[in-house]
């Protein structure tokens, strides 16, 4: 039996008020019949939603009219945002796995006590590398920052990463090396002012439907080019679709660069004035002639010529990329090859241009800047003594508390667990046992832990079901803070509903743990999310992501969100801003760099037993990742298939005697899953597609990573599809 030992004032307050008022959570300042605007908690578009209260309870919501992002629109997930809060399987009390292996309700003081006792025992016995955390791009920045500071500076952990590794790590590294800082340069207004829009590995219609609406508002009759091996919803709506061979993007990009050079489409003035490494790049792409590029990509000479000439003749060309680029074995160099096209043609820093990485989760950008995982909070560098001194000074902590190196990456954390070096893991707001690549690997790792803590809105997620300790968390709408969207816009989220049962905001949970750990003093300034926002402003000062000039949450609400940077003293803050209008980048010499490399083949090639390439990704605008939230809405469920299926081309189906809707088995060298055959010409012969929303999908995927970003290559592995054999039935 574990008894509460450390009961500080916060814990005592919690015992008095189980709902958690006062625990760093600003008590609701709302009027009972108010309408409250706040940023959506699903994707990185960052739409604003108006939540309507009646008698203090949210009854409905509508998209905010005049908000500069969504202009009165929302996608199905946004409209249904309140539904997941009321689900039956919300985690309402902490759960601890008893001696018989069952998760049993325990009180908060007991849960916190177990957490501190076990975590401390692991760290004391085995050192700072023996416990780690995995966090998320889906909680407010203030919560992420508190978690990152608590674990690394308070508890003395060295390693912590997040699901943004699965998603944005590639863009972070690509931008840092090319621009000198992780800085997506655009504003959504650029969707409306381009005359050529290139969507690379991005299914905007499904994954960012409101950004697609912005594309549709473009009055310049733009050429819309989609580069995707599949004929996606976005490809169908485009004016040009290039259905290249999967993972041949890098060769295609170098081939396009060569064609543009040959046509004299280089903006010499821009290249000479603002970049470095162009001559070397020209020499590098010389080898990528039409025959070679056509062989590698499967595109004809005519297609390649047309693609290049559309870019060459465009006045305002914008390049946008998402997971078709970031989730690859050579993702960083591919993203940089896109950046190179924008730089060499001078398509950056002007309206309607840019090398623009579209973010995934609602607050992935907050995580990139402030989670204290890969970067020291505020876009700083753990290895830089000046940065460590600055952060220590702002936070008023001993510099020795800041580790001199960044955390290991997600996959390395899992490897360390398998090697027995990491013994305790704290997972917050991510569902690794569904979403991580190669499920055998992650499930094996999680089963070896002495302590697995899962902090989630639901106790029913695949990952929570494996936990020793489940901490029940409030969700979007039940707490306060800020999110940063794809175009660097900071907006607020608010508490319009009370979390069910004893669930607490992540912020309150982190504060309780800080107090019980004995480092509450370190966080005395961190008592409300808005207090933390002020600290983050101070930390950001002087950085490219400087937000010290924002006058608190009130200013964010008054202005329809504010894009970073906003240095102190900024007199007028424009609603839409893009970076690099002065041609100055963040490297010390002010120049952007051409970065390039030799293309490499993927780790696993189709052939023999597994002749097909498996692509994975999003399937509908109504489904969010592992479905823990969207699966709770009957409306959203009715808008998307709920049973596993595999998209297969008519030719491949015929070869295998597979009819539409047949039951099939999909196998890879890792494992297998059952599915229905969806026979469609939208996938090319030799390729199949399975949505990531099914738990089984990552049983097939292969542990392959980009070497620079360590982002998983989710969109390429070898499989076979067949009718079930007697043994499968």
Assign 3-class secondary structure to 603-615: CCCCECCECEEEE
Q: Indicate the residue among 168 and 592 with the shorter CB distance to ligand SF4.
A: 168
Q: Are 211 and 217 in contact (CB under 8 A)?
A: no
Q: Contacts with ligand MGD in 64-83 (CB under 6 A)?
A: none
Q: Are 152 and 158 in contact (CB under 8 A)?
A: yes
DSSP conformation letters of 307-366: HHHHHHH-SSEEEEE-HHHHSSTTHHHHHHHHHHHHHHTT-SSSTT-EEEEPP-BTTHHH
Residue 601 burial by CB count (10 A; 0-12/13-18/19+): exposed, middle or buried? exposed
Radius of gyration of the chain (CA): 25
Of positions 160, 314, 360, 477, contacts ligand MGD by CB under 6 A:
360
Q: Indicate the residue among 138 and 345 with the shorter CB distance to ligand MGD.
A: 138
Q: Contacts with ligand MGD in 542-571 (CB under 6 A)?
A: none
Q: At closest approach, how far in Å is the CB of 75 from ligand SF4?
A: 3
697 binds ligand MGD (CB under 6 A): yes
Q: Are 373 and 366 in contact (CB under 8 A)?
A: no
Q: Indicate the residue among 48 and 455 with the shorter CB distance to ligand MGD.
A: 455
Q: At closest approach, how far in Å is the CB of 358 from Mo ion?
A: 10
Q: At closest approach, how far in Å is the CB of 330 from ligand SF4?
A: 29
299 binds ligand MGD (CB under 6 A): no
Choose among Mo ion, ligand SF4, ligand MGD, none what residue 666 binds, the Cβ cut-off being 5 to 8 Å by kind.
Answer: none
51 binds ligand SF4 (CB under 6 A): no
Q: Contacts with ligand MGD in 261-280 (CB under 6 A)?
A: none
According to DSSP, the residues that pair with 563 across neighbouring strands are 489
CB proximity list for 554: less than 8 A, separation 6 or greater: none
Q: Are 567 and 549 in contact (CB under 8 A)?
A: yes
679 binds Mo ion (CB under 5 A): no
Of positions 74, 304, 344, 424, contacts ligand SF4 by CB under 6 A:
74
What is the spatial distance between Cα 291 and Cα 293, in angstroms, rounded to a whole number? 6
Residue whose token pair is 């325990």 = 106
Choose among ligand SF4, Mo ion, ligand MGD, none what residue 422 binds, the Cβ cut-off being 5 to 8 Å by kind.
Answer: none
What is the spatial distance between Cα 163 and Cα 362, in angstroms, rounded to a whole number? 12
What is the spatial distance between Cα 533 and Cα 467, in angstroms, rounded to a whole number? 32
Choose among Mo ion, ligand SF4, ligand MGD, none what residue 202 binds, the Cβ cut-off being 5 to 8 Å by kind.
Answer: ligand MGD
Strands (DSSP E) along 591-669, which ranges? 592-593, 612-617, 645-648, 663-668
Choose among ligand MGD, ligand SF4, Mo ion, none what residue 210 binds, the Cβ cut-off being 5 to 8 Å by kind.
Answer: ligand SF4
Segment contacting Mo ion (CB under 5 A): 84-92, 166-174, 488-496, 721-729?
166-174
Of positions 360, 475, 631, 712, contacts Mo ion by CB under 5 A:
360
Residue 635 DSSP SS3 = helix
Q: How far is C-alpha 328 from the chain's CA centre?
A: 15
Choose among Mo ion, ligand SF4, ligand MGD, none what residue 40 binds, the Cβ cut-off being 5 to 8 Å by kind.
Answer: ligand SF4
Of positions 85, 147, 167, 244, contacts Mo ion by CB under 5 A:
167
Choose among ligand SF4, ligand MGD, Mo ion, none what residue 692 binds, the Cβ cut-off being 5 to 8 Å by kind.
Answer: ligand MGD
Q: String of b and e for 222-258 (b: at least 16 CB within 10 Å)? A: bbbbbbbbbbbbbbeebebbbbbbbbbbbbbbbbbbb
Q: Total residues at the site for ligand SF4 (CB under 6 A)?
A: 13
Q: At closest approach, how far in Å is the CB of 202 from ligand SF4?
A: 14
Q: How far is C-alpha 34 from the chain's CA centre?
A: 32
Q: At closest approach, how far in Å is the CB of 78 from ligand SF4?
A: 2
625 binds ligand MGD (CB under 6 A): yes
Q: Indicate the residue among 149 and 210 with the shorter CB distance to ligand SF4.
A: 210
Segment contacting ligand SF4 (CB under 6 A): 42-50, 191-199, 219-227, 395-403?
42-50
Q: Are 710 and 601 in contact (CB under 8 A)?
A: no
> How many angstroms separate the Cα of 495 from the Cα of each of 53, 140, 209, 383, 563?
11, 12, 26, 37, 23
Q: At closest approach, how far in Å is the CB of 362 from ligand SF4?
A: 7
Kindly write out the interface string for residues 217-236 of this chain, putting x where it contacts ligand MGD by CB under 6 A and - elsewhere. ----------xxxx-x----
DSSP conformation letters of 499-531: PSTT-B-HHHHHHHHHHHHT-GGGGTT-SSHHH
Nearest to 609 by CA among 715, 689, 728, 719: 719
Q: Indicate the residue among 48 and 697 with the shorter CB distance to ligand MGD.
A: 697
497 binds ligand SF4 (CB under 6 A): no
Q: Are 653 and 634 in contact (CB under 8 A)?
A: no
Nearest to 397 by CA among 531, 528, 522, 525: 522
What is the sign of the dihedral through the CA atoms of 302, 345, 169 and 602? positive
Choose among ligand MGD, ligand SF4, Mo ion, none what residue 47 binds, the Cβ cut-off being 5 to 8 Å by kind.
Answer: ligand SF4
Strands 663-668 and 424-428: unpaired
Of positions 45, 177, 187, 203, contacts ligand SF4 by CB under 6 A:
45
Nearest to 629 by CA among 61, 82, 95, 79: 82
429 binds ligand MGD (CB under 6 A): yes
Of positions 14, 38, 40, 539, contacts ligand SF4 by CB under 6 A:
40
Kindly write out the interface string for residues 303-322 of this chain, putting x where it contacts ligand SF4 by CB under 6 A and - elsewhere. --------------------
What is the sign of the dihedral through the CA atoms of 435, 437, 439 and 444? negative
Choose among ligand MGD, ligand SF4, Mo ion, none what residue 28 binds, the Cβ cut-off being 5 to 8 Å by kind.
Answer: none
DSSP conformation letters of 394-453: HHT--GGGS-SSPPPPHHHHHHHHHTTS--EEEEES--HHHHSSSHHHHHHHHHT-SEEE
Q: Indicate the residue among 139 and 422 with the shorter CB distance to ligand MGD.
A: 139
Q: Indicate the residue among 208 and 699 with the shorter CB distance to ligand SF4.
A: 208
> How many angstroms separate the Cα of 563 from the Cα of each of 69, 385, 522?
11, 29, 30
Kindly write out the interface string for residues 189-208 of this chain, putting x where it contacts ligand MGD by CB under 6 A and - elsewhere. -----------xxxx--xxx
> How many angstroms separate the Cα of 554 from the Cα of each of 142, 489, 584?
16, 15, 31
Q: At closest approach, how far in Å is the CB of 364 from Mo ion?
A: 7
Q: Indicate the residue among 209 and 472 with the shorter CB distance to ligand SF4.
A: 209
712 binds Mo ion (CB under 5 A): no
Q: Are 133 and 489 in contact (CB under 8 A)?
A: no
What element of type H or E holds 145? helix 141-149
78 binds ligand SF4 (CB under 6 A): yes
615 binds ligand MGD (CB under 6 A): yes
Q: Total residues at the site for Mo ion (CB under 5 A)?
A: 2
692 binds Mo ion (CB under 5 A): no
135 binds ligand MGD (CB under 6 A): no
43 secondary structure, DSSP code: B
Of positions 715, 717, 718, 721, contacts ligand MGD by CB under 6 A:
715
Q: Are 304 and 256 in contact (CB under 8 A)?
A: yes
Kindly write out the interface string for residues 175-214 of this chain, putting x where it contacts ligand SF4 by CB under 6 A and - elsewhere. ----------------------------------xx----
Residue whose token pair is 């609701």 = 28
Segment contacting Mo ion (CB under 5 A): 114-122, 355-363, 472-480, 660-668?
355-363
Q: Which residues bind ligand SF4 (CB under 6 A)?
A: 40, 42-43, 45-47, 70, 74-75, 77-78, 209-210
Q: Which residues bind ligand MGD (CB under 6 A)?
A: 43, 136, 138-139, 163, 166-167, 200-203, 206-208, 227-230, 232, 246-247, 249, 322-324, 327, 360-361, 428-431, 434-435, 455-458, 461, 473, 475-476, 506, 615-618, 621, 623-626, 628-629, 692, 697-698, 701, 714-715
């Amino acid at each position: 039996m574990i008894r509460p030992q450390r009961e500080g004032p916060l814990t005592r307050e919690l015992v008095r008020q189980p709902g958690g008022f006062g625990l760093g959570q600003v008590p609701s300042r709302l009027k009972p019949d108010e309408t409250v605007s706040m940023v959506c908690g699903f994707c990185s578009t960052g739409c604003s939603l108006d939540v309507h209260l009646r008698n203090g309870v949210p009854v409905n919501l509508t998209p905010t009219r005049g908000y500069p992002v969504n202009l009165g629109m929302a996608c199905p997930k946004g409209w249904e945002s309140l539904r997941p809060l009321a689900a039956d399987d919300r985690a309402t009390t902490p759960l601890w796995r008893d001696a018989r292996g069952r998760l049993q309700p325990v009180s908060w003081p007991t849960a916190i006590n177990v957490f501190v006792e076990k975590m401390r025992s692991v760290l004391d016995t085995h050192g700072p590398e023996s416990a780690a955390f995995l966090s998320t791009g889906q909680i407010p920045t203030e919560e992420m920052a508190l978690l990152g500071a608590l674990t690394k500076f308070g508890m003395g952990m060295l390693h912590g990463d997040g699901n943004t590794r699965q998603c944005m790590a590639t863009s972070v590294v690509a931008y840092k090396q090319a621009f000198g800082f992780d800085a997506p340069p655009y504003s959504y207004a650029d969707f409306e002012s381009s005359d050529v829009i290139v969507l690379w590995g991005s299914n905007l219609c499904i994954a960012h439907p409101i950004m697609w609406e912005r594309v549709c508002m473009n009055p310049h009759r733009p050429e819309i080019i989609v580069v995707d091996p599949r004929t996606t919803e976005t490809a169908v709506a485009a004016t040009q679709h290039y259905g290249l061979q999967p993972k041949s993007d890098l060769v295609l990009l170098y081939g396009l660069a060569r064609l543009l050079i040959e046509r004299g489409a280089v903006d010499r003035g821009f290249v000479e004035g603002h970049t470095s490494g162009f001559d070397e790049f020209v020499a590098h792409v010389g080898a990528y002639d039409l025959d070679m590029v056509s062989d590698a990509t499967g595109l004809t000479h005519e297609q390649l010529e047309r693609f290049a000439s559309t870019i060459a003749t465009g006045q305002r060309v914008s390049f946008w990329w998402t997971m078709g680029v970031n989730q690859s074995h050579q993702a960083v160099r591919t993203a940089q090859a896109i950046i190179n096209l924008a730089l060499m043609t001078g398509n950056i820093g002007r309206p309607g241009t840019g090398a623009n990485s579209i973010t995934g989760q609602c607050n992935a950008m907050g995580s990139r800047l402030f989670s204290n995982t890969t970067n020291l909070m505020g876009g700083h560098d753990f290895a830089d003594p000046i940065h460590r001194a600055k952060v220590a000074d702002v936070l008023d902590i001993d510099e020795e508390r800041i580790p001199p190196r960044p955390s290991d990456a997600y996959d390395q954390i899992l490897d360390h667990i398998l090697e027995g070096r990491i013994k305790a893991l704290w997972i917050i707001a991510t569902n690794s046992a569904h979403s991580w690549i190669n499920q055998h690997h992650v499930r094996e790792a999680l089963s070896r832990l002495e302590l697995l803590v899962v902090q989630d809105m639901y106790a029913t997620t695949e990952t929570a079901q494996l936990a020793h300790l489940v901490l029940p968390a409030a969700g979007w709408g039940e707490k306060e803070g800020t999110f940063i969207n794809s175009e660097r816009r900071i907006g607020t989220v608010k508490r319009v509903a009370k979390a069910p049962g004893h669930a607490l905001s992540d912020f309150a949970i982190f504060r309780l743990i800080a107090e019980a750990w004995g480092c509450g003093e370190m966080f005395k300034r961190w008592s409300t999310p808005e207090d933390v926002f002020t600290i983050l402003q101070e930390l950001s000062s002087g950085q490219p992501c400087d937000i010290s000039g924002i006058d608190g949450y009130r200013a964010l609400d008054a202005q329809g969100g504010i894009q970073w940077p906003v240095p102190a003293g900024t007199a007028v803050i424009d609603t839409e801003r893009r970076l690099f209008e002065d041609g100055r980048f963040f490297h010390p010499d002010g120049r952007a760099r051409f970065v390039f490399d030799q293309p490499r083949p993927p780790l696993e090639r189709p052939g023999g037993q597994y002749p097909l390439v498996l692509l994975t990704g999003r399937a509908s605008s109504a489904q969010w990742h592992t479905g823990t939230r969207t699966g709770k809405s009957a409306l959203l469920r009715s808008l998307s298939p709920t049973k596993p299926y595999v998209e297969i081309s008519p030719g491949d189906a015929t070869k295998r005697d597979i009819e539409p809707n047949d039951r099939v088995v999909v196998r890879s060298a890792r494992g297998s899953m059952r599915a229905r055959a969806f026979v469609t010409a939208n996938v090319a012969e030799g390729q199949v597609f399975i949505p990531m929303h099914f738990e089984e999908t990552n049983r097939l995927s292969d542990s392959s990573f980009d070497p620079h970003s360590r982002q998983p290559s989710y969109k390429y592995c070898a499989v076979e599809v067949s009718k079930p054999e007697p043994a499968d039935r």
